[in-house]
Amino acid sequence: MSTKALIQAISYYLPRYQLDNAIIEAQFPEWSIDKISEKTGIDNRHIAASGETSGDMAVKAAEKLFEEHSIDRSTIDYLIVCTQSPDHFLPTTACIVQEKLGLKTSVGAFDMNLGCSGFVYGLGLAKGLVVSGQAKNVLLITSETYSKFIHPMDKSNRTIFGDAAAATLISSEHGFAEIGDFEYGTEGKGAENLIVKNGALRSPITEKEAVIDEYGNYNSDNHLYMNGTEIFLFTLESVPKLISRTVTKNNLNKDNIDLFILHQANRFMLQSLQKKCKIPNSKFYIKMDHCGNTVSSTIPIALYHAQNEKRIEKNKTILLAGFGVGYSWAGTILKTF
């Protein structure tokens, strides 16, 4: 009998400090509360403290997972940490998280550097470990502090992104949903449209002053830059194809899908995708108003809330699709039971 890979449980952590729309409006009066909410679908974001790292948040998310779902940490035999804001260049954040969580020293542990597609890619890696017999219980943690990359006067990116960490347990033995087959994609020519250019080895940090774009956003090569127009065009071009190919890869058709949970980028982008893919409201899930775009954690956070809201019931088929920085995209199917 072949081994299955199952999602057993999900929990997540949000930092204490909150950046709501009223605070943004106070700093940028032309950017009203109603305008922000209508365009982005985001009312609030949580921002990591100055000394709080992705590794710290990863530990807190995992501790919540263990407590909320009564999980014995000694059963974890593999750890994957997905982050683009690691604690150090080296060692890997996963090694630090292993020690802080008190996981056994026989676990495998590594980091993966992916953004908005990271959770689905992580599920693919976790499934490979489980199905091949290398692990029985894989702890996948997505943790990101994009706020530390954003210029304080960049109103567009500050409006969209929030910090968060999510912990997901993938198991060969227990779970509420089986992980299906995967569809992946990469197009590196779009790398410069969502980038923190300086800070690593190719382009060190510089002292250049920030420039102001046509929309009044401050930015420099030391901070997060996003070409919103190009990202939007990429998304509308790639994601409908990703959804179609993911459905086909799993020997299904689109009518078989009970719920679509896409990367929660912003409301305008999601509604544009929903319209282009002709997905009815009853099958399309949006949940980001309380935390913003949390990069690799948006899908697990949405899954967590969809479960609590009874949107995910037994014998349902769920499509997950992540897409963004890289360009990178990935999709898979969950079948609940």
Residues above pLDDT 90, as percent of the chain = 92
Rounded-to-integer distance, Cα 19 and Cα 292, Å: 10
**At residue 46, what are phi and psi to the nearest 5 degrees?**
-110, 135
Residue 245 lies in a domain: yes
- Average pLDDT of the residues of the chain: 96
Poorest-pLDDT segment among 27-31, 88-92, 305-309: 27-31
The CATH number given to whatever domain includes residue 21 is 3.40.47.10
Domain termination site, one of 175, 203, 227: 175
Secondary structure (3-state) at 182: strand
Secondary structure (3-state) at 9: strand
pLDDT single digits (tens) 269-302:
999 999 999 999 999 999 999 999 999 999 999 9
Residue 104 above 80 pLDDT?
Answer: yes
Q: Across residues 125-130, what is the average pLDDT? A: 98
Q: Which domain holds residue 266?
A: 180-336
Residue 210 above 80 pLDDT?
Answer: no
Rounded-to-integer distance, Cα 29 and Cα 22, Å: 10
Residue 62 above 80 pLDDT?
Answer: yes
pLDDT single digits (tens) 39-50:
999 999 999 999
Q: Quick one: 136 and 204 in the same domain?
A: no
Rounded-to-integer distance, Cα 2 and Cα 73, Å: 25
Look up residue 189 and give its two tokens.
Answer: 């020519």
Instruction: Residue 293: name the closest of 198, 228, 230 by CA.
Output: 228
Residue 219 lies in a domain: yes
pLDDT value for 127: 98
Contact 108, 79 (CB under 8 A): yes
Residue 208 lies in a domain: yes
Question: Catalytic: which of 95, 116, 157, 222?
Answer: 116
pLDDT value for 184: 98
Respond yes or no: is residue 151 known to be catalytic.
Answer: no
Confidence of residue 208 (pLDDT cuts 50, 70, 90): confident
- What is the pTM assigned to this prediction? 0.96
Q: Quick one: 171 and 184 in the same domain?
A: no
Q: Quick one: 137 and 267 in the same domain?
A: no
Q: Quick one: 164 and 185 in the same domain?
A: no
pLDDT value for 121: 98
Question: Catalytic: which of 46, 291, 293, 305?
Answer: 293
Q: How many domains does the chain have?
A: 2
Q: Across residues 8-17, what is the average pLDDT? A: 98
Q: Quick one: 242 and 309 in the same domain?
A: yes
Domain termination site, one of 126, 153, 175: 175
pLDDT value for 265: 98
Residue 320 lies in a domain: yes
pLDDT value for 53: 98
Instruction: Residue 58: name the closest of 180, 140, 120 by CA.
Output: 140
DSSP H/E element including 259: strand 259-262
Q: Quick one: 129 and 212 in the same domain?
A: no
Confidence of residue 216 (pLDDT cuts 50, 70, 90): confident
Residue 282 lies in a domain: yes
Q: Quick one: 69 and 97 in the same domain?
A: yes
Question: Catalytic: which of 137, 193, 217, 263?
Answer: 263
Q: Quick one: 161 and 186 in the same domain?
A: no
Q: Quick one: 201 and 110 in the same domain?
A: no
Respond yes or no: is residue 263 known to be catalytic.
Answer: yes
Residue 1 lies in a domain: no
Burial of 80 (0-12, 13-18, 19+ CB in 10 A): buried
Rounded-to-integer distance, Cα 321 and Cα 127, Å: 16
Q: Quick one: 209 and 310 in the same domain?
A: yes
Rounded-to-integer distance, Cα 259 and Cα 257, Å: 6
Respond yes or no: is residue 116 known to be catalytic.
Answer: yes
pLDDT value for 207: 82
pLDDT value for 1: 55
Domain termination site, one of 123, 151, 175: 175
Q: Quick one: 76 and 218 in the same domain?
A: no
Q: Quick one: 32 and 144 in the same domain?
A: yes
